[in-house]
Amino acid sequence: MSEAPAGGYGLHQSSFRRRVHLVLDSAIATEIWTLLLHRTYVTLVLTSVAAVVLESMPELAIRYASWFDVVEMLSLGAFTVDYMLRLWSAPEHTPYAEMHPWRARWEWARTGWAIIDLLSILPFVLAFFVPADFKVLVLLRLLRFFKLARYSAGMRSLLAALEAERKALMASMMVLLGLVLVTASAMHLFEHEAQPEKFGSIPDAMWWAIVTLTTVGYGDVVPVTVAGRIVAGFTMIMGLMMLALPIGIVANAFAEEIHRREFVVTWGMLARVPLFSSLDAAEIAEVMRYLRSQTMPAQTLIVRKGEDARCMYFVAAGEVEVEATSGPVRLGEGRFFGEMALLRNQPRNANIRSVTPVKLLLLDGVDLRSIMDRNPEIQRRIEAVMAERV
Ligand code: CMP
């Protein structure tokens, strides 16, 4: 990891902050001690969650009380430091790079990840104000489990899918809630005389409605009148239909999210990159295996001057603008950028922003090297383009 250069955009004061950010937040650990830290973090999360679960068994809670305390204090301490460091280094996230540091921290603190982090250390804060055996604290401590998602690509895709479809999901929840209200009221109307203890009020009947609409059907409350049974039949059918809706929405969004990550797997896209035109079919297939994909909205900062480089980019669709020293340069479909820092082992030398929504193909530095080693022609072409840019 190299130091950020002095000057330019104020990064020189924060190279330590940048290191902290990279160590904590890189999804893929490339350095040994980043990897070690991630493993320790995962172990700590698992241990603390296991401790919370085991502590709920009275005989274990008494026998190993001091052990449970040690695990809890250790993990609370570690997660609190972790949260503070993440909050402090939040301005280093590329999308927040141009914000005031406190604005960037506020933006970060509002993300799902940050909220989970905060909730999982809340027992620490709350312990000062409420009695220690407050039951909600156990639930908050178990939320730590979700911290693991940070290091799981699959989980990130699933969360992104839920986030993308949150409006549709909310809408289907509203419809479900409406159905609970309507069917519970109808059941109350028809059954309250026959079974006053079970359908005596609408809230009582709502329990039945929820159990029925979700197709769980405990069978603890059942209609006995003919009208009640007709309503029940309607409720069951509506329940099946309405539950299928959110499942379909999530499944579809998840498939799309995965597809988005896999859009690289098309020949057409690589064929439009002139750099790869000298490759034969087998070589193209191989390069395709190395490429990852990313879509970005317009006006997003993609590469930040002074940042350490991990990959280079190919524009598969859309247009980006390089803030080169000689003036702005636009790069469109088929062009590449971010090669200089990789090949010269130096920080990024320009900011690059998307002009339109873009689809990018990402190639990691190590993979670039191995491709160049096997294809001197590619190496020659990249170097030629690079020489022109200097
Ligand atoms: P890198 O230094 O890794 O990150 C910024 C990138 O901007 C750089 O690689 C080049 O790919 C690109 N770049 C820099 N200067 C120019 C230029 N004059 N014309 C086109 N691209 C450039």
Q: 348 CB under 6 A from ligand 1? A: yes
Residue 366 confidence class, pLDDT cut points 50, 70, 90: confident
85 and 196 fall within a common domain: no
CATH number of the domain within which 37 lies: 1.20.120.350
Is 267 a member of any domain?
Answer: no
Is 278 a member of any domain?
Answer: no
Name the residue of 94, 337, 385, 386 whose CB sits within 8 Å of the most ligand 1 atoms, as the mutation to test its pocket.
337
- The whole-number pLDDT of residue 30 equals 55
Is 118 a member of any domain?
Answer: yes
CA of 322 to the centre of ligand 1 (A): 7
Mean pLDDT, the chain, rounded, equals: 85
Distance of alpha carbon 18 from alpha carbon 7, whole angstroms: 15
**Total tally of structural domains belonging to the chain:** 3
CA of 6 to the centre of ligand 1 (A): 19
Instruction: Dump the DSSP string for 155-188.
Output: HHHHHHHHHHTHHHHHHHHHHHHHHHHHHHHHHH
Q: 349 CB under 6 A from ligand 1? A: yes
Q: Is the pLDDT of residue 1 over 60?
A: no
CA of 25 to the centre of ligand 1 (A): 25
353 in Cβ contact with 306 (< 8 Å): no
Residue 6 confidence class, pLDDT cut points 50, 70, 90: very low
243 in Cβ contact with 214 (< 8 Å): yes
Mean pLDDT of 332-352: 93
Strand (E) or helix (H) holding 19: helix 15-25
Q: 303 CB under 6 A from ligand 1? A: yes
Q: 322 CB under 6 A from ligand 1? A: yes
Q: Is the pLDDT of residue 7 over 60?
A: no
Least confident stretch, 28-37, 142-151, 257-266, 313-322: 257-266
Least confident stretch, 151-160, 180-189, 362-371: 151-160
Is 378 a member of any domain?
Answer: yes
Nearest Cα residue to atom 15 of ligand 1: 324
340 in Cβ contact with 297 (< 8 Å): no
Give how far the C-alpha of residue 1 lies from the chain's centroid of Cα atoms, to the nearest Å.
25
Show Cβ contacts of residue 236 under 8 Å, excluding neighbours closer than 6 positions.
212, 215
Show Cβ contacts of residue 226 under 8 Å, excluding neighbours closer than 6 positions.
none
- The whole-number pLDDT of residue 280 equals 78
Least confident stretch, 69-78, 264-273, 334-343: 264-273
Is 375 a member of any domain?
Answer: yes
Is 277 a member of any domain?
Answer: no
pTM of the model: 0.63
